[in-house]
Amino acid sequence: MILVTGATGFIGAEILRRASRRGWRIRGLARHPERAEQLGRLPNVELFRGDVSRPDELDEALEGVEVVIHLVGIILETRAQSYEDVHVTGTRNVVEATRRAGISRYVHMSALGVEAGRDVSDYYRTKWRAEELVRGTGLDSTIFRPSLVFGRDDEFFNRLARIARWSPVVPLPAGGRSRFQPVWIGDVAECFLQATRMERTPEPVYDVAGPEIMMLKEIVRTLMELTRHRRPILSLPLVPLRAAAAVMETALPTPPVTRDQLRMLSIDNVSDRARQRALRRDFEIEHARLADKAPAWLAPPRAAREGSP
């Protein structure tokens, strides 16, 4: 039995679907499982109501479990959830409950860029502290650090595509020069699933990044090509954008951009060649490019492409 925290999120749901197809028994922990009824109806999948902030609920969820996959994280702080609460305290609760249950195999999701960004961004700092907690437990742990993950239900790439469809311009901080290594959701899910079948992995930490490095503006241009909506890119200077983000953080419960996210953009989100070789050596994945997979859900219908009525 595998337990997946954050099971109804973008990555968690893909892990559950793939495990179900293979006939693996898997239990998904979620605060609101009723919002994911389709996942709960999958063969071999059990959705369990629980919160990583409540250790008593974790103890019950871990009964009969052999491997833990911990995915819970947030990209935006709210008044109800901080990075510290979710990334650090939540991880501490999960690893302590894992040890209490006598489970030794633990697979953890961190983020690409965490080493370079831990002194720059609160997001990266708390992700790094979570990694340090995992490394100090004595568990047989594997840490994955995905780059920006794309897929049918992702928020980031689909939001950019919507902007390109409906906005007369696509505004990008500093002209979109930040570099990323987008990775397909299927490749990320496979890394987690394959790691659960290993007593331990050859490396304790893996960067999970795609095969190509792209500037943000190149990502946007790729999405515009796929959706047939070409828009000019508007470069937004960072200094006034930071000031605007500070105002939005105060005035809005969920601001569209935060100062911490802008600080994250100052760091290239890419992997090095040695870590990419390790990923290719130890895991069987497609290493799919954004342009390989995105047409399945972003490309306009054939009739629209051909100009048919």
pLDDT tens, 23-44?
A: 999 999 988 888 888 888 899 9
What pLDDT is attached to residue 77? 86
Q: In this structure, is residue 19 part of a structural domain?
A: yes
Burial tier of 248 (Cβ tally within 10 Å: 0-12, 13-18, 19+): middle
Q: In this structure, is residue 235 part of a structural domain?
A: no
Tell me what the pLDDT averaged over the chain comes to.
Answer: 90
Q: In this structure, is residue 14 part of a structural domain?
A: yes
Domain CATH for 138: 3.40.50.720
Tokens linked to 228: 């047939």
Per the model's pLDDT, the better-predicted residue between 87 and 230 turns out to be 87
Give the model's confidence band at 307: pLDDT under 50 very low, under 70 low, under 90 confident, else very high. very low
What pLDDT is attached to residue 265? 85
When divided into structural domains, the chain yields a total of 1
Question: What is the tens place of the pLDDT at every residue in 40-91?
Answer: 889 999 999 988 988 888 999 999 999 999 999 998 888 788 999 999 999 9
CA distance 108 to 140: 11
pLDDT at 259 over 60: yes
Give the model's confidence band at 306: pLDDT under 50 very low, under 70 low, under 90 confident, else very high. very low
CA distance 135 to 130: 9
pLDDT at 228 over 80: yes
Q: In this structure, is residue 20 part of a structural domain?
A: yes
Q: Choose among 210, 228, 192, 193: nearest CA to 303.
A: 228
Q: In this structure, is residue 60 part of a structural domain?
A: yes
Question: What is the tens place of the pLDDT at every residue in 146-187?
Answer: 999 999 989 889 988 888 888 888 888 888 899 999 999 999
Give the model's confidence band at 300: pLDDT under 50 very low, under 70 low, under 90 confident, else very high. low
Q: In this structure, is residue 86 part of a structural domain?
A: yes
Give the model's confidence band at 206: pLDDT under 50 very low, under 70 low, under 90 confident, else very high. very high
Phi, then psi, of 159 in degrees rounded to 5? -65, -45
Tokens linked to 128: 């790094």
Give the model's confidence band at 303: pLDDT under 50 very low, under 70 low, under 90 confident, else very high. very low
Find the range with the poorest average confidence among 173-187, 219-233, 253-267: 253-267
Find the range with the poorest average confidence among 171-175, 199-203, 223-227, 301-305: 301-305
Positions of E strands within the chain: 2-5, 26-30, 45-49, 67-70, 105-109, 140-146, 149-150, 170-173, 179-180, 183-184, 205-208, 214-215, 233-236
What pLDDT is attached to residue 149? 96
Tokens linked to 93: 């609760």
Which whole number is the average pLDDT over 238-250? 87
Question: What is the tens place of the pLDDT at every residue in 97-150?
Answer: 999 999 999 999 999 999 999 999 999 999 999 999 999 888 999 999 999 999
Q: In this structure, is residue 158 part of a structural domain?
A: no
Range of the domain at 281: 2-149+184-209+270-288
The pTM of the full predicted model, rounded to 2 decimals, is 0.92
Q: In this structure, is residue 280 part of a structural domain?
A: yes
What pLDDT is attached to residue 301? 52
pLDDT at 302 over 60: no
